[in-house]
Structure 1
Amino acid sequence: MMGCMSSPDPAAELAAIFAVDVAAADPTGCATVLGATRRLRGFIDQVEAGVTRRMIELHEQQGAAPAADVHAQTGGVSSAEGKRKERRSKTLDEAPSFEDALGAGEIGAEHVDALANATAKLDDDVKNQLLDREADLLDDAMRLSPEEFGRSVRDLARVIERDNGIERATRQRKSTFLSRKTNTATELVEGRFAFHPELASKVFGPVDRHVSTLIKEGAAAGDPECVDRSVDRNRLAAEALGELVASGNQHLHPGTGDVTVIADATALVTGEISDDTVCETGDGNAVPPAAVSRMICNGQVTPILVDADRVPLAAGRTVRHANRAQRRALRAMYRTCGFGDCDVAFDRCEMHHIVPWEHGGSTDLDNLIPLCSRHHHVVHEGGWTLELTDDRTLTVRQPDGQVFTVSEPDVPPQRRRRRTVDEQEPAPERVRERQPAA
């Protein structure tokens, strides 16, 4: 059922698509096609949700085939995708304004799926309280990427849970497990796991860092997969985990384990949680203040001082490569790759010089940004340019000078939205700009 948002005209959107010769299209033409495709896809997704809703009714009332099975058999999708479509339809029943926005092309199906995933295992009372804020949730969905929106919903649910006295950390620990079995066909030992955030940070932080070490060592030895960065990181992660467990993290990485936690002083001192509280691991998983206090008691603390916008005020320097203190400072600002909406985790990124080292650039925080391997190649080999302002607003320009995206650090808990070109503010006086590599 449609509300105040108008549905796109499918015929008009198709006409806009067919009017462009994609094979010869310029960037504007490609953007036109993608925009029309997005609106048309939203319309189709809304129709599909309505059909799914009817199939659910037929299954419940007349014993017809489950909606997910019908999708798998007639829609050419996997069983998992069929279940996802069924779950999406049920979520739209619970949040009808999202269906209107989906049909109007204001949000995508991924936003609805993010809401479904974030609410799937909530207690009924918590879920109802969260959906009471449907208008605010929709506003967030319309301005955030699906990943950011899902994180925002989970953060809100955590606040509601704590307000209701639910000990999420206790439930996470009770749900933590690690199991394995041998596949008789392949003779591979296969496993399943679910780790609470504190344990996951302890396990996967060292694994990700050791994978980077293995890639560097392989590149130095001339391994072609490591040189061109086509190596399977998941395979290396398994090797890294085995080496860390067999040899001991202390042997491979002398010194204490490095676990990054971003927390505000108020939460640590009082243990109280509010809408503005920051208390999470470096990769964005929430942990209770008590767990942070325990880690502080059991380890050495390297504080990073930040201002009101959480921009580090003090951190170390090095000659060419970012040192550990600088990586920690950047991790306090970025959960993921700094390039637009890229969701590659920080620990899988490389520290990139905005002004290249070979062109006189310094290894200072205001000249460093985390980039994943793919976007690092785009910048160095594709002739793209980056501009970074004092407040760490990043402007990415294509080789022809056109602005591709403008983004800000993924700073918790303020989930800053990506800004369109029309919304850009006047450029500050000082902007560091990277020139295309020669």
Structure 2
Amino acid sequence: MMGCMSSPDPAAELTAIFAVDVAAADPTGCAAVLGATRRLRGFIDQVEATVTRRMIELHEQQGAAPAADVHAQTGGVSSAEGKRKERRSKTLDEAPSFEDALGAGEIGAEHVDALANATAKLDDDVKHELFDREDDLLDDARRLSPEEFGRSVRDLARVIERDNGIERSTRQRRSTFLSRKTNTATGLVEGRFALHPELASKVFGPVDRHVSTLIKEGAAAGDPECVDRSVDRNRLAAEALGELVAAGNRHLHPGTGDVTLIADAHTVASGDLTDESVCETGDGSAVAPATVSRVMCNARVTVVFVDEHGVPLSAGRTARNANRAQRRALRAMYRTCGFGDCDVPFDRCEMHHIVPWEHGGSTDLDNLIPLCSRHHHVVHEGGWTLELTDDRTLTVRQPDGQVFTVSEPDVPPQRRRRRTVDEQEPAPERVRERQPAA
């Protein structure tokens, strides 16, 4: 059983800290200050995790700013640290006793981060069995340093994986399958698979090697998640698999997928679905108009004109993606994603049209800005809007119209700076913006 934990009294801890003259303190006095500081920091970390959890809920339910972005915007931390705080809050959801221990000052935030990193890549079954031993994990966290605790969690996970046993080869081959179906309730294409070891090595060997390449490229570009190896390898594995399949596994370069989306011009332009709307994939699965708009930002679009009966009249092709010269020009202006303080490298960004193509926007430099995949989704599916002035000052507005951030390109020697909403400036003479739905 876990011991009883009580939260510290922040006022009492502050009193204890200020009661000691550090300049003249003896070892006992210094240790007392450090102990009070640790307990006070644990209380603050617990409050921060609770607030982060609420910000995650607001983002998922109301389209508010992502928690990591709010941390970077208001907390004076890097984008990578904002993401780490978000992961920390999610890990405390899975291990509630760790949150109590954190608030009581019995463990530190680094212990929670070590648990998050050690469990991030585990299969769900292994992770669930590991968290079933939450009491033992917490006992280890109390007595071990964060580094030692992280190693202990990884060792325990390996034991669980080993104890699960290995099926016999014949049974594994009989159990191998790959299936997919469309969930009629959500419209998502859901897949399930189980591969015997030999087949898995053929599939995941190239994937793992390409993931390593992506991590090395990210580290060379200065991506903090790649530098400290905290990047989500599962996400990179999905990207690597898509690239390898699309490219026929002949050459490691981003492949071009052939995606068919069918939508009527009014629905795409307005963003509104009506009884007369058509907005679906080639196999009839429904998609949102915002998703069609986002896909068209980086696609070669074939426009097919049909009559009132749906009979094709003519078809033409229009290049929608920025060419190499345009990407080079944008790279000269942006080191990273153009969305506020995001630090995702330029080479991992997608080119977003400020004025969407369906609203008459062109694939020109003054209508393009690099966005990482996460912020590209925020703009399209989240309903956020971007406004770009002639000097490339970017204003980001939330769905309710409130300004979230104002930033400039991070091209040297000019350093991007953030402006607060309170800074009042004359409105620019000409502002291009993503047009709201009609």
What's the TM-score, normalizing by structure 1? 0.39
Shift of 1:162: 1.4
Shift of 1:164: 2.2
Instruction: Return the alpha-carbon distance in structure 2 between the equivalents of residues 237 and 173 of structure 1.
Output: 24
Shift of 1:416: 48
Distance change >3 Å, CA 228–CA 160, structure 1 → 2: closer
Q: Percent identity?
A: 90
When the two chains are superposed, the root-mean-square deviation of aligned CA atoms in Å is 22.2
Q: Could you say which residue in structure 2 is the equivalent of 1:70?
A: 70
**Does the Cα contact within 8 Å between 1:212 and 1:348 map onto a contact in 2?**
no
Shift of 1:378: 52
**Does the Cα contact within 8 Å between 1:169 and 1:287 map onto a contact in 2?**
no
Distance change >3 Å, CA 371–CA 388, structure 1 → 2: same
**Does the Cα contact within 8 Å between 1:278 and 1:412 map onto a contact in 2?**
no
Q: Could you say which residue in structure 1 is the equivalent of 2:334?
A: 334
* SS at 2:226 equivalent: helix
**Does the Cα contact within 8 Å between 2:355 and 2:362 map onto a contact in 1?**
yes
**Does the Cα contact within 8 Å between 1:315 and 1:329 map onto a contact in 2?**
no
Instruction: Return the alpha-carbon distance in structure 1 between the equivalents of residues 116 and 75 of structure 2.
Output: 21
Distance change >3 Å, CA 166–CA 208, structure 1 → 2: closer
**How big is each residue's C-alpha offset from its partner over 1:188-211, in whole Å with a ceiling of 9 and x where there is no partner?**
999999999999999999999999
Instruction: Return the alpha-carbon distance in structure 2 between the equivalents of residues 423 and 155 of structure 1.
Output: 52
Report which stretch shifted further, 141-150 or 425-434. Answer: 425-434
Equivalent pairs, count: 438
Instruction: Return the alpha-carbon distance in structure 2 between the equivalents of residues 209 and 362 of structure 1.
Output: 38
Report which stretch shifted further, 344-353 or 25-34. Answer: 344-353
Distance change >3 Å, CA 377–CA 6, structure 1 → 2: same
Distance change >3 Å, CA 379–CA 78, structure 1 → 2: closer
Distance change >3 Å, CA 184–CA 154, structure 1 → 2: same
Instruction: Return the alpha-carbon distance in structure 1 between the equivalents of residues 167 and 367 of structure 2.
Output: 41
What's the TM-score, normalizing by structure 2? 0.39
* SS at 1:344 equivalent: coil
Distance change >3 Å, CA 244–CA 76, structure 1 → 2: closer
**Does the Cα contact within 8 Å between 2:52 and 2:86 map onto a contact in 1?**
yes
Report which stretch shifted further, 419-428 or 181-190. Answer: 419-428
Moved segments of 4+, more than 2 Å: 1-4, 164-438
Shift of 1:161: 1.1
Report which stretch shifted further, 229-238 or 360-369. Answer: 360-369
Report which stretch shifted further, 311-320 or 110-119. Answer: 311-320
Distance change >3 Å, CA 242–CA 382, structure 1 → 2: closer
Shift of 1:4: 3.7
Distance change >3 Å, CA 296–CA 113, structure 1 → 2: same
* SS at 1:190 equivalent: strand
Distance change >3 Å, CA 34–CA 430, structure 1 → 2: farther
Report which stretch shifted further, 352-361 or 116-125. Answer: 352-361
**Does the Cα contact within 8 Å between 1:40 and 1:105 map onto a contact in 2?**
yes
* SS at 2:340 equivalent: coil
**Does the Cα contact within 8 Å between 1:205 and 1:259 map onto a contact in 2?**
no
Distance change >3 Å, CA 87–CA 260, structure 1 → 2: same
**How big is each residue's C-alpha offset from its partner over 1:261-304, in whole Å with a ceiling of 9 and x where there is no partner?**
99999999999999999999999999999999999999999999
Shift of 1:172: 20
Q: Where does structure 1 lack aligned partners over 5 or more consecutive residues?
A: none
**How big is each residue's C-alpha offset from its partner over 1:318-377, in whole Å with a ceiling of 9 and x where there is no partner?**
999999999999999999999999999999999999999999999999999999999999
Distance change >3 Å, CA 331–CA 163, structure 1 → 2: farther
**How big is each residue's C-alpha offset from its partner over 1:113-163, in whole Å with a ceiling of 9 and x where there is no partner?**
110000000000000000000001001111111111110000000011112
**How big is each residue's C-alpha offset from its partner over 1:169-226, in whole Å with a ceiling of 9 and x where there is no partner?**
9999999999999999999999999999999999999999999999999999999999
Instruction: Return the alpha-carbon distance in structure 2 between the equivalents of residues 197 and 74 of structure 1.
Output: 48
**Does the Cα contact within 8 Å between 2:386 and 2:434 map onto a contact in 1?**
yes
Shift of 1:21: 1.3
Instruction: Return the alpha-carbon distance in structure 2 between the equivalents of residues 356 and 66 of structure 1.
Output: 23
Q: Could you say which residue in structure 1 is the equivalent of 2:387?
A: 387
**Does the Cα contact within 8 Å between 2:271 and 2:437 map onto a contact in 1?**
no
1:35 maps to 2:52:
no
Distance change >3 Å, CA 54–CA 311, structure 1 → 2: same
Report which stretch shifted further, 157-166 or 232-241. Answer: 232-241
Report which stretch shifted further, 29-38 or 287-296. Answer: 287-296
Q: Where does structure 2 lack aligned partners over 5 or more consecutive residues?
A: none
Instruction: Return the alpha-carbon distance in structure 1 between the equivalents of residues 184 and 381 of structure 2.
Output: 45
Shift of 1:36: 0.3
Instruction: Return the alpha-carbon distance in structure 1 between the equivalents of residues 196 and 31 of structure 2.
Output: 41
Distance change >3 Å, CA 347–CA 35, structure 1 → 2: farther
Distance change >3 Å, CA 353–CA 243, structure 1 → 2: closer
**Does the Cα contact within 8 Å between 2:244 and 2:255 map onto a contact in 1?**
no
Instruction: Return the alpha-carbon distance in structure 1 between the equivalents of residues 29 and 307 of structure 2.
Output: 43
Distance change >3 Å, CA 243–CA 120, structure 1 → 2: closer
Q: Could you say which residue in structure 1 is the equivalent of 2:99?
A: 99
Distance change >3 Å, CA 205–CA 48, structure 1 → 2: same
Instruction: Return the alpha-carbon distance in structure 2 between the equivalents of residues 283 and 207 of structure 1.
Output: 28
Specify the structure having the higher radius of gyration (Cα): 2
Report which stretch shifted further, 331-340 or 197-206. Answer: 331-340
**Does the Cα contact within 8 Å between 1:271 and 1:290 map onto a contact in 2?**
yes
Report which stretch shifted further, 32-41 or 428-437. Answer: 428-437
**Does the Cα contact within 8 Å between 2:353 and 2:368 map onto a contact in 1?**
yes
Distance change >3 Å, CA 53–CA 252, structure 1 → 2: closer
Instruction: Return the alpha-carbon distance in structure 2 between the equivalents of residues 145 and 187 of structure 1.
Output: 46
